[in-house]
Structure 1
Amino acid sequence: MIEIGALRALRSVAALGTLARAADELGFTASAVSQQIKRLEQQVGVPVLAPAGRGVVLTPAGRAVVEATPEVFQALERCAEAGRSVAEGAARGNLRVAAFSTAIRGLLAPVLPRLSARCPDLRVHITEQDPDQALRAVDAGTADLALVHDADGLPAPLPASVTRRHVHTDVGDVVMGRAHPLARLDRPLTSADLTGHPWVTSPPGTVCHQWFRRLFADAPEDPDVRHLVDDFSTQLSLVASDRVLALIPRVARPPLGEGLVSRPLRRPPKREVHATWRRSAGASPAIRAVLTELAPRAHPDDAPR
């Protein structure tokens, strides 16, 4: 009988290219993953991996095994869901959720009290992961549900075993001190309004830095960037003390306090957030309970001005 853990290990190695990376993703040591692969080879009767430089590659037999794993995992998931359905659809047990950091802060954390009140027997375990890593975790079965955002306006490609639902549209606003000249404007801000003012922004390589650069795509000169800071709470402290502006996603925004205000943009940058889970787990009462709480809700800044 082939061990399920060995199949998960082989699939992770196939996706990541090395035993060490697969071990990090699965939470094992590289030695433990290697032993799982060796047992799988004994069970299948042929080698499934071959060395390739510092990494490994699948043999033709190993590739065939990996291509067959989705059906195996979906069948196991259906078995588990059949057992859960006996409990009259009650959400209980452990639910493993992977999400990027600002989704944890702005989407998951606020709904946990309601979820706990509705489903007292459900325990949610949250792990911070970037979207691509979170999708792999759902596909591999090391996470049950993931929150991911699109990359530069393009939805992340989904593995065949995974489906998704839109849960949030995240919008960027400009934050400033109450005494800032732009704070007196009672209308959405334009790129022309923002020209000539100093900024604190997220570092290059982040979604928010891409948003920021687009604000000035048609500007005649580069923006005056005084500070590069990844943490949004730290950005707000600089806005309060150094009269700079900051572009901050609503889902990531900490409380502003009395000295700061936010102003919307005429053409605000946006990103779509989706919940993703394995298709075979669609009947899970726990997943359905979390999706219910994550249903899109209006943000106070969406109100007409």
Structure 2
Amino acid sequence: MIDVAALRALRSVATRGTLARAADDLGFTASAVSQQIKRLERQVGVPVLAQAGRGVVLTPAGQAIVDSAPDVFQALERCAEAARSVADGAPRGVLRVVAFSTAIRGLLAPAIKELQKRCPDLKVHVTEQDPDQALHSVDAGTADLALIHDADGLPAQLPPSMTQRHLHTDTGDVVMSRTHPLAQHEKPLASEDLAGHAWVTSPPGTVCHQWFRRLFANAPEEPEVRHLVDDFATQLALVEGGAVLALIPRLARPPLGDGLVAHPLLRQPKREVYAAWRRSADASPAIQAVVSAL
């Protein structure tokens, strides 16, 4: 019979392309993953991987096994859920959640505090991961629940084995010092109101930087960016000096001190936040409890 851990290892190697990357995903050493693959080859009697430069590729036999793996994992998970449903259905055990940082701050942390009171037998373990990596972790079975957001207005591409539920719409505001000339502005800020002011922004490649660039998409001049900082608390420290503005998502925003104020935008940037899990885990009391709390 095929060993489930070895099957999971082969699937991770197929997705990640190397033994080392698969080992990082699974929390093993590359040597341990290699041993699992060799055990799988002994069990099926044929090679499942072949060398390709510094990486590896699946043999036709290996590809056939990987193609069948989701059915195996879903069947095993349905067995486990059936066993849990025989009990009282109370959420218990460990639920592994992977989520992007601002969802951890704004959604998960408050929910966990309440869940500890309602579900004392449930432990939520949280790991920070970007949405693409989080989806892979849940699909591969190394996590149970992912919190993800859309990418620049485009929904994330879920594997067929997964489902999702909308949780939250996150929006961005402009944060400034109370001494800043725009601080007394009574209406939502338009792009033209922001012209000529200096900024601290998140680095290129982040959602918040995309939001910032979109603010000035039709502006005649490039905005003045003085600082590129990924940490929002650090952005606020720079804003408090009074010389720069920041565009910060509400989920990510630490409490504002007395010296800061947040102003909404006329065209608010937004992103949709979803919970995603394997369809075979739909009946999980733990997943349902956490999603309900979120």
Q: TM-score surpassing 0.5?
A: yes
**SS of match in other structure, 2:165:** strand
Match of 1:76 in 2: 76
Deviation by residue 1:73-114 (Cα, 9 ceiling, x = unmatched): 001100111111122210000000000111111110011111
The reply on whether 1:184 has 2:184 as its aligned counterpart is yes
Which amino acid is 1:260 matched to?
L
Q: 2:240 is paired with a residue of what secondary structure? A: helix
Cα distance in 1 for partners of 2:267, 2:149 equals 19
In structure 1, the partner of 2:282 is 282
Inter-partner Cα distance in structure 1 for 2:164 and 2:157: 11
State the distance in 1 between where 2:153 and 2:139 align: 22
1:64 is displaced (CA, Å) by 0.4
| Structure 2 residue aligned with 1:174 | 174
Whole-angstrom CA distance in 1 between matches of 2:178 and 2:166: 34
Compute the displacement of 1:167 (Å): 0.5
| Alignment match, 1:8 | 8
Tell me which residue corresponds to 1:42.
42
Residue aligning to 1:300 = none
List alignment gaps of at least 5 residues for structure 2.
none
Say which SS state the counterpart of residue 107 (structure 2) adopts: helix
- Alignment match, 1:216: 216
One-letter amino acid matched to 1:289: A
The answer to whether the aligner puts 1:114 opposite 2:114 as a matched pair is yes
Aligned to 2:127: 127
Amino acid in the other structure paired with 2:282:
G
Checking the alignment, whether the CA contact within 8 Å between 2:77 and 2:280 is kept in structure 1 is yes
1:19-34 superposed matches below 5 A: 19-34=19-34
Q: How many residue pairs get matched? A: 294
Between the aligned partners of 2:236 and 2:40, the Cα distance in structure 1 is 52
In structure 2, what is the equivalent of residue 297 of structure 1? Answer: none
Instruction: Tell me whether 1:64 sits opposite 2:64 in the alignment.
Output: yes
| C-alpha deviation, 1:43, in angstroms | 0.5
CA contact (8 A) 2:176 2:242 kept: no
Deviations 1:39-72 (A, max 9, x none): 0011111110000011000000000000001110
Q: 1:299 aligns to what?
A: none
What is the alpha-carbon distance in structure 2 between the residues aligned to residue 128 and residue 89 of structure 1?
28
C-alpha contact (below 8 Å) 2:144/2:277 kept by paired residues: yes
Letter in 1 for 2:76: L
Aligned residue in 2 for 1:270: 270
1:23 and 1:172 map into 2 onto residues whose CA distance is 37
Aligned equivalents of 1:113, 1:151: Cα separation in 2: 29
- What's 2:155 paired with? 155
Task: Kindly indicate whether the alpha-carbon contact (under 8 Å) linking 2:179 and 2:242 is maintained by their aligned counterparts in 1.
Answer: no
Q: Secondary structure at the match of 1:192?
A: helix
Q: Any conservation in 1 of the 2:177–2:242 contact (CA below 8 Å)? A: no
Gaps of 5+ in 1: 295-305
Cα distance in 2, alignment partners of residues 84 and 266 from structure 1: 49
Q: Partners in 2 of 1:89 and 1:257 — Cα distance?
A: 44
For the residue of structure 1 that corresponds to 2:51, the secondary structure is strand
Q: CA deviation at 1:242?
A: 4.0
2:201 corresponds in structure 1 to: 201
Distance across 1 between alignment mates of 2:139 and 2:70: 9
Secondary structure of the corresponding residue to residue 251 of structure 1? coil
CA distance in structure 2 between the aligned counterparts of 1:161 and 1:7, rounded to whole angstroms: 17
**CA-atom RMSD, angstroms?**
0.7
- The question of whether the paired residues in 1 share the 8 Å contact of 2:180 and 2:242 is answered with no
SS in 1 for 2:241: helix
Q: CA deviation at 1:243?
A: 2.2
1:293 alignment counterpart: 293
User: For residues 265 and 45 of structure 1, what CA distance do their matches in structure 2 show?
Assistant: 63
CA-to-aligned-CA distance 1:133-167 (integer Å, 9 cap, x gap) = 11000001000000011111111111111111110
Give 3-state SS (helix, strand or coil) of 1:95's partner: strand
Q: Deviations over 1:157-204 (max 9, x none)?
A: 111111111101111100001122212112111000000011000111
Percent identity, aligned pairs only, is 77
In the TM superposition, what whole-angstrom CA distance separates every residue of 1:192-241 from its partner, at most 9, and x where no partner exists? 00000110001111111111000000000000111110000000000001
Q: Quick one: which amino acid aligns to residue 155 of structure 1?
A: P
> CA separation in 1, counterparts of 2:56 and 2:154?
31
